[in-house]
Chains A and B, each alone.
Chain A
Amino acid sequence: MAPRLTNRQTEDNDAVIPLRFGDDPLLWASWLYYEEGLTQGAIAEQMGVSRPSVNAYLADARSRGIVNIDIAPDMFRTLTISVALRDHFNLQDCLVIPTHGDERSLIDRLGGAGAKVLARNLRSGDTLAVTWGRTVLSMADQISHPGLKDVRVVQATGGTTAQIPWTPEACASHLAKALNARAIPISAPAIVSSAKMREMLVRESVLAEQLGILAEADRIVMGISSLRPESTIHTSGFLEGGMQHSHYQDAVGSLTGRFISARGEPVIGPMHERTIGLGLDQLRAIPQRIAIAGGMDKVAAILAALRGGYVSILVTDIATGRGILNAEGYHDTTQRPTAQPDRALRPRTHVKKLINNPKDAVDETLRGAVLAHEHLIAPVPGSKRAIRAIDGPKPGKVAIVIGGGAGHEPAFWGYVGAGMADAAVVGNTFASPPPDPIIAATRAVDGGAGVLYIYGNFSGDVMNFGMAAEIMEAEGVKVRSIITTDDVASSPRETRSARRGVAGTVFTFKIAGAAAARMLPLETCEALAKHTNARTYTMGLALEPSSLPETRQPSFELGPDDMEIGVGVHGEPGVERRSVELADTCADLLLDRVLEEMPATEGDEVALLVNSLGSIPNSELYIVLRRVRQRLKARGIGVHCSYVGSYYTSLDMVGMSLSVLHLDSEIKSLLEHPCRSVVFSS
């Protein structure tokens, strides 16, 4: 819609502003320039003013915020320096700005760039920690992000001398005000007179509460200080007196008031026990750590911070960035982006996912799971991939530790709780956890009566749980391992021990959990779990493949009318491909394979699990269950219970599996034993 303009000009060339622009010539000029694409000369003619006036109008319009010129961080990121920094230091992101630009100081321009980066990353509900210094204050004074809700801005350290304008309090309060957030101070000095004083202060409830909020930070935005005399760390009153220097001669920089060496290692000196605020280990544990720092004097300090892994997003300038890279022996010509496979022919280039950074997906899932079920499960301290039951360990009870790759949710943490497993360990997506978290889980739940590991038969799990078992045995903990093999499709009957362990494994979790809850000895629990596994049969099928968060590509290709029979739970193809059949035909196909092997006679009872592999609607699972029940009834086999839903998934695979547990009186009684976990509860 073009504004009507020219015919409104009067004889004496005194233009009338069209109504839509009110009486605002700035808005009118901006519209013509940015929306209509007219030259400044043409605008001058239309508006009846001189060209310099138009120029002034446009500059005014920018400064008054009528026009926002955003330079997208994406464009900056393409600069080779930022890409090289990001790749070399394994950063989440990196923004490099020109070292020389407009009349603003480097600090202000870094502050402006930092404000853009923070605004991009900040989310409603975040707890944001903030340090202090010139750059940080400049960032706080330039940020604008309307529309955020429930943000908390917390000081990363106690307060400093008021002789500088960029104190921790000022930085936090300016930032909180700009973000319409709640400001949480740290009501103590950053440096106190003695370690004893610190001990006393941190026990004060007000300060303890504030430090508790600091420990919940989702992000931190921070400066990096060099150790030169005019640096923030000096002017803030740290390092007072010449004698301090001898303790800090290895230090090249400072973060959150702590000192680091050229290799990024903490330098512990006399100030350490007297500092109130975020420690370096705590800093590294914050999921997103945005550092804003530049200037050649800071190259060593920034490099040290990068080497130490304290930074996940870096905002700096080209000269500093190049200095850092040169110090690392980087040469512009050696880094070439690796070729991506050509996917141009596919109508879609990737599977849609509701994730953030793919590399965070597993940890973020676990964090959410633990929060959703905090009354049942909690992480094992120091090991975020190991989850234990809230109550436990119970002295004298056999402990059950289960696990495998991620991507099978609600497996494996869904089977942790009273009467179920005591701990679950999760690896990367579809990859076994390494021995370390398995060992941490084992130690956390060992009640002195031995530990039973239960996991599916996959080479990675067998190796890693096997190594963990060896290490625990060497520590004197008795460990037995049950490797489940319920997947009928994966190997012939004669080589049953080579079969995969899939959804039917949850029956083994349940029975072993009940046996342990009844305080049966390790050998008995082991025998019962083995017995259950031997009587469990699973067959699966997929209509569509799954896709990994990292690749976002289908893990195999299925034709428009094909389905895959005998799929596993890792997106690997199945054993046979055929045309999609009616639900009843599919149910028969799966059940017939199970009945071929299960020596059930009339009058026997089974437990059923009709399990979603991730993305099939529940309605279709019930259609299949109905058919399975019809068939079993016709054969005279009783169904003691039917579980229908997501029990052991394969990310977003559209598919299902049928597991049948051939009951006997002992298994049936253990199946009914009370339990309380996310998935099974009775």
Chain B
Amino acid sequence: MTSIPNASQAAIIQDLADVIVANKAWLSEIDGKIGDGDHGSNMAKGFSRAADRIAGQDITLDAGLLVLSDVLMSEIGGSMGPLYGLMFADMAGAMQGHDRIDADLFSAALNAGLQAVQGVGNAKVGDKTLVDALAPAVAAFDAAMANGFAAALDDMAHAAEAGRDSTIDLVAKIGRSSRLGERSRGVLDAGATSCCLILTSLGQSVRTRLS
């Protein structure tokens, strides 16, 4: 298949929340090296609350993403609240009203999400933020679309992982860890790590439903 239905996809959000909750301790540990160590617990709180809210509901993927966005924006705060909140809101916006999600629409959603993050956060690739995972992943997806939806999702996941790992050698230019200068080098960025988890989980969910 070359597309998945938009309807009845609450499970994708549930799976996403499960992945974030399962990696709560890891995310906090990474964050603790150059931040205050609460990224995992804040993310887990937001994603599991969203999952609770849609539990038992039969909703479209865009509606599920919108619930996630609402919870992150209105209850979690911090910098991840608006960044992921707006990212999911704009991804949902791109999907809204469509019966099926194909590679073109998924690309549109990814690009909308990336623009939302860059619009509110002003980060560029190389600043040691979630953009280091997100931007190359979106580019990789777009580049591989000609080979089919599934192939593009695979490339997206690989690029997200490579982007996440690239943050180890970077010096933070933006956000709280930027004040550490050279001392921020040598550890993963927590935002890039969580973003990679989000993209790989989403990609995996869509890929399973394609086959």
Contact = CB atoms under 8 A, between A and B. Distances in A.
Contacts of A89: 52
A575 B179 contact: yes
A546 to B, nearest CB: 8
Interface stretch (B70-78, B146-154, B158-166, B198-206): B70-78
B34 interface: yes
A449 B104 CA distance: 49
B37 interface: yes
A435 B48 CA distance: 21
Contacts, number: 128
Contact of A555 (B36, B73, B178): B36
A659 interface: no
Contact of A572 (B28, B48, B52, B180): B180
Contact of A463 (B52, B57, B82): B82
A76 interface: no
Contacts of A341: 25-26, 29
A459 interface: yes
Contacts of A548: 36-38, 41
B10 to A, nearest CB: 11
A556 interface: yes
A490 interface: yes
Interface in B37-75: 37-38, 41-42, 45, 48-49, 52, 55-57, 73-75
A460 B26 CA distance: 22
Contacts of B78: 405, 427-428, 430-432, 460
Contact of A434 (B33, B45, B77): B77
Interface residues of B, number: 46
A245 to B, nearest CB: 24
A267 B23 CA distance: 38
Interface in A152-186: none
Contacts of A436: 74
A-side interface mostly: loop
A307 B55 contact: yes
A366 B80 CA distance: 23
Interface string A546-587: 001011010110000000000010111101000000000000
Given A464-B81, A464-B82, A431 B76 contact: yes
Interface in A424-443: 427-436
Interface string A572-614: 1101000000000000000000000000000000000000000
Interface in B92-146: 120-121
Nearest to A569: B36
20 contacts: A89-B52, A263-B56, A431-B42, A431-B78, A432-B81, A434-B74, A434-B75, A435-B73, A435-B74, A458-B176, A459-B121, A460-B78, A460-B81, A464-B77, A464-B82, A500-B179, A551-B38, A555-B32, A568-B176, A568-B179
Instruction: List the 6 closest A-B pairs by CB distance, nearest first.
Output: A431-B78, A460-B79, A490-B179, A434-B77, A427-B77, A463-B82
Interface of A: 88-90, 263, 307, 328, 338-341, 359, 405, 427-436, 458-460, 463-464, 467, 487, 489-491, 498-500, 548, 550-551, 553, 555-556, 568, 570-573, 575
